[in-house]
Amino acid sequence: MKRLAVVGSTGSIGQNTLRVVEHLSDRFRIFALAANSAVDRLAEQTAAFHPAVVGIRDGGRVDEFVIQCQKRRISIPEVVTGEEGLRQIASAPEVDIVVSAAVGAAGLSPTYSAVASGKTVALANKEAMVVAGELLRKTAEKSGARIIPVDSEHSAVDQCLRSGRKNEVRRLILTASGGPFRETRVEQFEKISPEEALKHPVWQMGKRITVDSATLMNKGLEVIEARWLFDIPSEKIDIMVHPQSIVHSMVEFVDGSVVAQLGTADMRQPIQYALTYPERLPSSVPHLDWTTVSRLDFAPPDPKKFPCISLAYRAIEMSGTAPAVLNAADEVAVELFLERKIVFSDIPNLIASTLEAHKTKIADSLESVTEADSWARQRACGWLS
Ligand code: MG
């Protein structure tokens, strides 16, 4: 029986994780659940999974959580709050696997705690690897933590890499659905509304990642994530637009052989893989119906339409704190776009301007990364004036 801590349990990955735990209830038990502020859902999950500890990042929501538990007539678990509470949960000695699924930069500090305490970390919070990839990698080497990606592309790469040795890899090919504007003319981009950008053709996800999928910044961030997860230079990481989203990513080996991972677009698959690794178990995910797969298309992304991709490669080249700046500037740009303060085509301009103004430092501590993050947020917010 493995004991789990799910940080970010009320978001889309968190909820899917609990569905996997429910399906494999003879293998996994929930020790702790943590959320930012959605205490309603957290109480519902507490009633269903009986965690010993619950973390609520927004301490002001604890009373409401207690009321929600009383309404459901369930005993109230130990409650910890704030970032410190989340770190406590992620490093608790009772926990075997930490599912790191908090959204955005908020996931960094609990992820770091989990890695530093040598846990197995099922990593869905890609920002942690983007802003502090090098630090997390080095920390894992010291603590013996194992980081298993939950992001569908990286889970696919992880699975494909098991076909060969590291020095036999020629390149990683991350696939991208291309988002909702794959066929939209670049001249139309400034007229794209938040509602249009929030309609993703394949995946149901949070707001920021959905807009990031429309600008393809999501894929740029995934290149950075892959660079650190698999310790491979960015020159060996390519992106291919694949609108059917059936091939979740591929690895090309030096002998010319390409190994791909395919499946239905259901996050429970990569989540379960991360939890049961290195084993595979029957899952409740619908199997790929080959009678409906008529074709698989691939094309390189258009750099003129999606400049966010080259910005991500630029951030890797600048190294150090630059990826943290890229991520923070993007988060601000997406917020401003959703608030209709900037247009869709301004998103890459705002990020580029912030990145170029940054003086890169070595990212060897959480402090240096969070400092760069705050600097970038301030700078990006000032872009409007
Ligand atoms: Mg992904």
User: 86-102: per-residue pLDDT in tens?
Assistant: 999 999 999 999 999 99
Q: Which residues, at least 6 apart from 8, have a Cβ–Cβ distance to it below 8 Å?
A: 14, 34, 35, 36, 99, 100, 101, 102, 103, 107, 124, 125
- Domain 2-149: CATH superfamily is NAD(P)-binding Rossmann-like Domain (3.40.50.720)
Q: For residue 223, report the distance from its CA to the centre of ligand 1, in Å.
A: 10
Using 50, 70 and 90 to split pLDDT, how confident is the model at 199? confident
Q: Tokens 């390189």 map to which residue?
A: 300
Ligand 1 center to 239 CA (angstroms): 12
What pLDDT is recorded for position 384? 85
CATH for the stretch 154-263+289-384: 1.10.1740.10
- Centre of ligand 1 to C-alpha 232, Å, is 18
Pick from 27, 91, 80: nearest CA to 51: 80
Q: How far is the CA of 81 from the centre of ligand 1 (A)?
A: 29
Query: Could you tell me the distance, in angstroms and rounded to a whole number, from the CA of residue 102 to the centre of ligand 1?
Result: 15
Distance CA 34, CA 259 (A): 37
β-bridge partners, 215: none
Q: Which amino acid is at 99?
A: V
Residue 344's pLDDT band (cuts 50, 70, 90): very high
64: CA distance to ligand 1 center in Å?
A: 34
Distance (Å) from CA 298 to ligand 1 centroid:
17
Contacts of 10 (CB under 8 A, 6+ apart): 35, 36, 38, 41, 42, 45
Is it the case that residue 206 has pLDDT exceeding 90? no
Spacing, Cα 69 to ligand 1 middle (Å): 34
Q: Are 117 and 139 in contact (CB under 8 A)?
A: no
Q: How far is the CA of 349 from the centre of ligand 1 (A)?
A: 23
Phi-psi region of 358 (alpha: psi -120 to 50; beta: other; left: phi over 0): beta
Distance 264 CA to ligand 1 centre (A): 14
Domain positions in the chain are 2-149, 154-263+289-384
Chain segment 235-257, per-residue pLDDT in tens: 999 999 999 999 999 999 999 99
In the reported structure, the alpha carbon of residue 211 is separated from the centroid of ligand 1 by a whole-number distance in angstroms of 13
* Cα 178 to ligand 1 centroid, rounded to whole Å: 12
pLDDT of residue 105: 77
> How many A from CA of 111 to the centre of ligand 1?
18
Distance (angstroms) between ligand 1 centre and the Cα of 122 equals 14
Tens digit of each residue's pLDDT (9 = 90 or more) over 295-340: 999 999 999 999 999 999 999 999 999 999 999 999 999 999 999 9
DSSP 8-state assignment for residue 202: S
pLDDT value at residue 221: 97
* Residue 227 CA, ligand 1 centroid: distance in Å: 14
Do the Cβ atoms of 78 and 101 come closer than 8 Å?
no
**CA–CA distance, 104 with 127 (Å, rounded to integer):** 6
Mean residue pLDDT across the chain: 96
Residue 20 CA to ligand 1 centre (angstroms) = 19
Ligand 1 centroid to 254 CA: how many Å?
Answer: 25
CA–CA separation, 275 and 100 (whole Å): 12
What separation in Å is there between the alpha carbon of 355 and the centre of ligand 1?
A: 23
Cα of 202 from ligand 1 centre, angstroms? 11
67 CA → ligand 1 middle, Å: 36
- Judge whether 2-149 and 154-263+289-384 match in fold: no
* CA 288 / ligand 1 centre spacing (Å): 19
State the distance from the centre of ligand 1 to the C-alpha of 128, rounded, in angstroms: 14
Residue 288 has pLDDT above 90, yes or no: yes
Question: Ligand 1 centre and the CA of 8: distance in Å?
Answer: 17
Query: If you measure from the C-alpha of residue 151 to the centroid of ligand 1, how many angstroms do you get, rounded to a whole number?
Result: 5
**169 C-alpha to ligand 1 centroid (Å):** 21
CA of 37 to the centre of ligand 1 (A): 24
Phi, psi of 227 (to 5 degrees): -55, -40
Put simply, whether the predicted model's pTM sits higher than 0.85 gets the answer: yes
CA of 218 to the centre of ligand 1 (A): 7
pLDDT tens digit string along 110-120?
999 999 999 99
Angle at CA of residue 228, ends 213 and 281, nearest 5°: 75
Q: What pLDDT score was predicted for residue 200?
A: 74
Distance 174 CA to ligand 1 centre (A): 9
Nearest-angstrom CA–CA distance, 340 and 190: 11
pLDDT in tens, 119-156: 999 999 989 999 999 999 999 999 999 999 999 999 99
Closest CA to 132 of 157, 103, 158, 112: 112
Q: How far is the CA of 153 from the centre of ligand 1 (A)?
A: 5
